[in-house]
Structure formats: C-alpha cells, structure tokens
C-alpha cells in the first residue's frame, strides 16, 4: 500500500502542475494546454509511466481488498456495543470507502478525458494539436460534473491526509523528529493537491 500509494502521491503533483495551465487566461490556456497534451501524448517515457500508473492503481486496490479480507477474518465476532470510533480519526478508519469514491471517480475521469483523447477523433486547434482544452471547458460547463469532481476531491483529500503519513510509517520512519516533519508535510501536500484540483473546475466553470 505504501509503495504504490506514494507513487500515486508523486503522480498527483505532476498531474496538478500540468493542470494548473488551465488557470491561465482563456486564449493562452488553450494554446499552452493543447501543446502540453500533445507533448505528453507523443512521449515514450510518459507512455511507460502511464502503464506503471495503471498497474499501481490496480495493485493498490487489489492489495486493499486482500487486507480488508484479512481484517474481516481477524475481527471474528462483532462487538454488540462499539464505541471504538471515539479514539481514532474518521478518515483513518474509512480509507476503503474513500478509496472506492476515488476509484469510481477515476473511471468517470478516464472515460471523459483519457479515452476521448486517445481513442476518438478530435477537432484540432490552430497549432494542429488535438483540442483537449475545449473538451475540458465543455465538460466543466456542466454544474453537476463540477460537483462530482469537488466531492471526489474531498474524498481524495481525506484519503491523502491519512495515506501520506501512514505510508511513511509502514516504510519504517520512526524517528519522532522526522515523523513530525512528515505529518506537517502531509498536511501541506494534501492542502496543495486538494485545493489545486478543486480550484480548477470552479475557475473553468465561471471563466468561460
């Protein structure tokens, strides 16, 4: 969980940095974003990374299911009266639920952008690149679509808030000083990723 999780954490940073181009003024954003999409689509290295990414997502989910099965077996008889939730944060106990929300989101997300970009014929922009920017703008013009994104990113935020530091612990980071640094870094990281991804659909919705 830690290895694949941290790789996915790293990927999110790259993904967000690329997406921040959507916040530029419309004309500039269109030119930049289409150029960037074209750059990624044609790069062999990106192809390899995208396969590693897909495998990581599947491995992360499959291992989570295996752990859930182990937990079910280890728990035995359920408590009749259970107040154990008072002593741990809600998100740390519901990583599976949050992960499921993220997985459903990923299916929608990949269908609407990755599938459209790679497997359908698209209009070209002035530079002769596939016009991904217009696809993004049109998609984010539906308020309910923006809402799905916002809800998914909230789930992602809570997932990262626990996942980031938990991964470090699983890998064996035990020194109190660095544990504290990783906790703070986790908070900052989560705020940056969640805030960034939540901002983009809203800005695109109101700007165009």
Partner 1 sequence: MKIYLKIWRQDSPATPGAMKNYELDDVSQDMSFLEMMDLLNESLIQKSQRVVEFDHDCREGICGQCGMMINGRAHGPLTHTTTCQLHMRSFKDGDTIYIEPFRAAAFPIVRDLKVDRKAFDNIIQAGGFISASTGQTPEANGILISHAIAEAAFDAAACIGCGACVATCKNSSADLFTSAKITQLALLPQGKVERTERVIAMVDQMDAEGFGHCTNTEACEVECPQEISVLHIARMNYEYNKALIISH
Binding site for partner 1 (CB under 8 A): 67, 70-71, 73-84, 86-89, 92-93, 95, 162, 165-166, 168-174, 176, 179
Q: Which is nearer to partner 1, 70 or 141 (CB)?
A: 70
Identify which of residues 147 and 173 has a Cβ nearer to partner 1 in the complex. 173
Rounded CA gap, 71 and 59, in Å?
18
Closest distance of CB 64 from partner 1, Å: 10
Tokens of 15: 């993904």
Instruction: CB nearer to partner 1: give 64 or 200.
Output: 64
Q: How far is the CB of 80 from partner 1 (least distance, A)?
A: 6
Give the shortest CB-65-to-partner 1 separation in angstroms. 12
Nearer to partner 1, 129 or 164 (CB): 164
Residue closer to partner 1 (CB basis): 149 or 165: 165
Q: What are phi and psi of 40, to 5 degrees?
A: -65, -45
| Distances 46 to 40, 41, 128, 197 between C-alpha atoms, Å | 6, 7, 21, 21
Query: Quick check: 75 and 129 in contact, CB under 8 A?
Result: no
Q: How far is the CB of 115 from partner 1 (least distance, A)?
A: 33
What is the secondary structure of 112-156 as a DSSP string?
IIIIHHHHS---B-TTSSB-HHHHHHHHTTSHHHHHHHHHHHHHH
CB of 68 to partner 1, least distance (A): 9
Report how far residue 116's alpha carbon sits from residue 22's, in angstroms, rounded to the nearest whole number.
Answer: 18
């Amino acid at each position: 969980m830690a290895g694949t999780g941290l790789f996915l954490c790293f990927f999110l940073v790259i993904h967000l940095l690329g997406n921040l181009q959507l916040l530029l003024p419309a004309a500039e954003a269109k030119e930049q974003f289409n150029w960037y999409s074209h750059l990624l689509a044609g790069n062999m290295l990106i192809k390899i990374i995208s396969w590693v990414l897909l495998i990581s997502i599947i491995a992360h989910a499959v291992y989570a299911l295996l752990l859930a099965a182990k937990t079910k077996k280890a728990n035995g008889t359920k408590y009749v009266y259970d107040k154990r939730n008072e002593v741990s944060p809600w998100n740390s106990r519901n990583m599976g639920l949050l992960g499921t929300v993220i997985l459903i989101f990923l299916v929608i997300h990949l269908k609407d952008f990755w599938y459209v970009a790679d497997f359908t014929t698209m209009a070209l922009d002035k530079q002769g690149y596939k016009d991904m920017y217009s696809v993004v703008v049109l998609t984010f013009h539906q308020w309910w679509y923006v809402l799905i994104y916002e809800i998914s990113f909230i789930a992602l935020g809570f997932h990262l808030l626990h996942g980031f530091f938990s991964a470090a612990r699983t890998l064996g980071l035990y020194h109190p000083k660095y544990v504290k640094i990783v906790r703070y870094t986790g908070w900052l990281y989560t705020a940056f990723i969640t805030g960034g991804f939540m901002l983009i659909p809203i800005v695109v919705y109101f700007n165009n």
